Amino acid sequence: MNPAVTTGLAAATPVPAAADEARWQTLLEHRNEAPPSHAGCPLQALYQPLLTSRGPYAVGHLAQSLDGRIATTSGISRWLSGGEDLLHTHRMRAIADAVLVGANTVLHDDPQLTVRLCAGRNPVRVVIDPDGRLDGSQRVFTDGAAPTLLLIADDLARPGERRGQAEVIPIARGTHGLDPHQIRHALQQRGLAWLFIEGGGVTVSRFLAAGALDRLQITVAPVILGSGRPSIVLPEITDLCHSLRPRTRRFILGEDVMIECDFHG
Ligand SMILES: NC(=O)c1ccc[n+]([C@@H]2O[C@H](COP(=O)([O-])OP(=O)(O)OC[C@H]3O[C@@H](n4cnc5c(N)ncnc54)[C@H](OP(=O)(O)O)[C@@H]3O)[C@@H](O)[C@H]2O)c1
């Protein structure tokens, strides 16, 4: 299966999957270096700008249906998008210093958030749970596969507190929950500058609303749910001139199409 790349309204580029593992490893090994010359390679087109992005960086990702849902109302999301998008999320984890998810995702999916489908080291796992709803029994708190940080509101977190194996990090409450910029700052102080925000919709939306995303990747799967948990939800606008119109690139991931928004492009 080939992934493809396109920008603007041009055609989308099919991006190769597992057969490109060797090329993926080369890209990963040479991150921060001048790109090896594989002009026209879709894998390189997709990942090179991400691998070479300097300084603090945050990329959000959601897989959604044609009608903008990321899960059923009861919270079932496996597997909305296909295997190539799943492989893509593992590659994004491998690029990132830390992978972030909201409390609902941990409750419903009990994800491992590790790199298992491609080469690369596991990122630090970060769970946003302002009121400490999670009891510490989920895999990110118990499996020891990678360090886990639990972000709790500072009025609830106790000094030195742990939840399972996770270190609890207090974050100040803002107007709309924990301020994504404060989250980025707190993680950056721990050397976690390159962040992959993997969901769900509430978490990614709050980062987007706060202007705390450098890129947003939305993979659209050819399925209609007709109900369910929403993808991006932002404060209401009254005119289309207030909508976000970032520069975009498009990639074919098997049956799915991923549109990547670049908010600094
Ligand atoms: N299709 C996909 O790409 C994808 C990816 C991941 C998950 N999912 C699915 O999506 C569902 C979960 O998504 P969701 O949108 O319902 O929830 P979510 O984003 O996983 O978690 C949202 C919760 O996390 C906490 N949170 C996140 N950011 C916060 C912030 N800045 N400040 C304060 N609290 C914050 C809040 O907890 P409190 O409510 O305690 O305040 C919030 O309600 C699950 O069913 C999962 O299977 C789908």
By DSSP bridging, strand 256-262 and strand 247-253 are: antiparallel
Residue 196 to residue 210: CA distance in whole angstroms:
16
pLDDT in tens, the chain (265 residues): 344 544 444 456 666 566 689 999 999 998 877 666 666 788 999 999 999 987 799 999 999 999 999 999 999 999 999 999 999 999 999 999 999 999 999 999 999 999 999 999 999 999 999 999 999 999 999 999 999 999 999 999 988 999 999 999 999 998 889 999 999 999 999 999 999 999 999 999 999 999 999 999 999 999 999 999 999 999 999 999 999 999 999 999 999 999 999 998 6
Report how far ligand 1's centroid is from the alpha carbon of 265 (Å): 27
Kindly report the pTM of this predicted structure: 0.94
Output the pLDDT for position 38. 64
C-alpha angle with apex 245: 32 to 202, nearest 5 degrees? 80
Q: Which atom of ligand 1 is nearest to the CA of 207?
A: 31
CB 52 within 8 A of CB 194: no
Query: pLDDT by residue (tens digit) across 42-98?
Result: 899 999 999 998 779 999 999 999 999 999 999 999 999 999 999 999 999 999 999
Atom 22 (ligand 1): residue with closest C-alpha? 102
* CATH entry 3.90.550.10 includes domain 53-227+246-262: no
Give the chain's length.
265
CB 205 within 8 A of CB 216: no
What is the gyration radius of the CA atoms in the chain, in angstroms?
Answer: 18
Output the pLDDT for position 201. 98
Locate 19 and state its tokens.
């057969």
Q: Which atom of ligand 1 is nearest to the CA of 103?
A: 24
Query: pLDDT by residue (tens digit) across 122-141?
Result: 999 999 999 999 999 999 99
One-letter amino acid of 33: E
> Ligand 1: which of 76, 79, 104 to mutate, most ligand atoms within 8 Å of CB?
104
Report how far ligand 1's centroid is from the alpha carbon of 234 (Å): 14
Residues 6+ positions from 235 with CB-CB distance below 8 Å? 209
DSSP-derived 3-state class of residue 149:
strand
Output the pLDDT for position 41. 85
Q: Which atom of ligand 1 is nearest to the CA of 70?
A: 1
Measuring from each residue's beta carbon to the nearest atom of ligand 1, which residues come in under 6 Å? 62-63, 70-71, 75, 77, 80, 101-105, 108-109, 128, 130-131, 133, 177-178, 180, 198-203, 206, 229
DSSP state of 30: T
Report how far ligand 1's centroid is from the alpha carbon of 100 (Å): 10
Output the pLDDT for position 264. 87
Locate 265 and state its tokens.
């492009």
> Ligand 1: which of 59, 65, 70, 99 to mutate, most ligand atoms within 8 Å of CB?
70
Locate 221 and state its tokens.
């799967």
